Amino acid sequence: MERKTFIQKAAGLMLIGIPAYSLIGCSSSDDGSGNPDPDPLPTQGNCLENGTTNAIGGNHGHNLVVSAGDVNAGVVKTYSIMGSGTHDHSLTISAANFNILKTNQSISVTSSNNDGHSHPVTVSCA
C-alpha cells in the first residue's frame, strides 16, 4: 500500500470512528472530587415509600438523609449535611420542594455557604 492510500484510508476510519466513539463513550464526568457526576437522568424511584438518594456537588464527606417520613410530612425542614466533613453546611427543603418529591421528581437545592463555599445538591427518589 502506498503512503498516500494509507493516509486516505486512515483519515476515513477516523471520520467514522470519532462519532462512533462519542456514542459509546462514558456519559459521566469527574467533578475533581474523585467521584463521578451523577447521571443526569436518574431512574425514577418512589420518594413516598423509599425516601431519597442525593448527589452533592463538590462533595468532600458531606451527607444528606431525607427519609420517606420527611417527604410524607411535606413541611419545610433544614438539614445538617456535615457527614464526615471537617465543617458543616445546612440545607433547607421547602414544602413546595417536598410536593415535587411526592410526585417522584428530583429537586435541586444549594447548601449554606460555610468555609468559603456552598454545594449544589440534587435530591432524587430512591
pLDDT band at 120 (very low <50, low <70, confident <90, very high): very high
Report the run of H or E that residue 125 belongs to, with start and end: strand 120-125
Tell me what pLDDT residue 13 has: 58
User: pLDDT tens-digit profile of 61-118?
Assistant: 999 999 999 999 999 999 999 999 999 999 999 999 999 999 999 999 999 999 999 9
How high is the pLDDT of residue 2?
Answer: 75
- Decide: pTM greater than 0.85: no
